[in-house]
Amino acid sequence: MSDQTGNFAGKVILITGGTGNIGLATASRLAGMGAAIALLDLDEGRLAEACKGLGTQDTLAKGYVCNVTSVEDVHKTINAIISDFGKIDFLFNNAGYQGSFAPLHTYPEDDFARVMQINVCGAFNVMKAVSEHMVSRRFGRIVNTASMAGVQGPPNMAAYAASKFAIVGLTQTASKDLAPYNIRVNAISPAFMGPGFMWDRQVELQASAGSQYFSTDPEEVSRQMINSVPMRRYGDINEIPGVVAFLLGEDSSYMTGVNLPIAGGIL
């Protein structure tokens, strides 16, 4: 995207869930636009590999191992990033966990708690710590990864749906709380994204859940999901970073508290 190179020159972005498909694709896009990248994830080896692929003589990329569910770990990591880069301009709050697939009455309680701890408490921990820094500078742009599961609750995904509904609400409240400090907070809601591990996992687990909504045959589940999308295809991971860049950039300067579907026409 040569016409976009340099749009974010001089900006520093923190991306959580940085070595996952969405995080890494977004990091690559924003690095190409001139941003310095701080990647946050749990796997030191994957972080090192990801940063090796992102960093150039013009773009700095550095990885940080951090458990977003730990308030202490988050604050320590945010302080390290600010020390290394001097500031944080943008946050792509993207770390998450999909959880189990089961109807509500059999959904495992421990997994529900884990999903909420990572997806909701983790997102809050990072956003709170980063926003403290942004408030002191009176500037910031935040994009949270929600999901169409947080717009229309899907069957067999009680924890994930609840966590993503929470992210939409958290985005709306944070946008109001932070607006006086020139900080915009928006969200994206991807629907079915593929191909790859997450698509295959969702298809297989919906098939095995044994509900009236999907076949028990994964191939048929795949067709059922695709046929529920007006555009009749799943989205490509690389269709997400441009939307994130738009929400971080000044083309969206009068937008805050918005949740943008990336969903092929599902509303």
User: Phi, psi (5° rounding) for residue 217?
Assistant: -100, 115
**63 C-beta neighbours (distance < 10 Å), count:** 23
The region that residue 266 occupies, defined by phi over 0 for left and psi between -120 and 50 for alpha, beta otherwise, is beta
d(CA 39, CA 84): 13
Nearest partner of 257 among 158, 137, 174, 181, judged by Cα: 174
Kindly name the residue from 64, 97, 160, 181 that is annotated as catalytic: 160
d(CA 209, CA 104): 11
User: Is 160 known to be catalytic?
Assistant: yes
**How many Cα atoms sit within 13 Å of 176 on the Cβ side?**
5
Residue type at 234? Y
Contact between residue 206 and residue 101 where contact means Cβ atoms under 8 Å apart: yes
Residue 25 Cα distances to 115, 165, 190, angstroms: 23, 24, 14
**Residue numbers annotated as active site:** 160
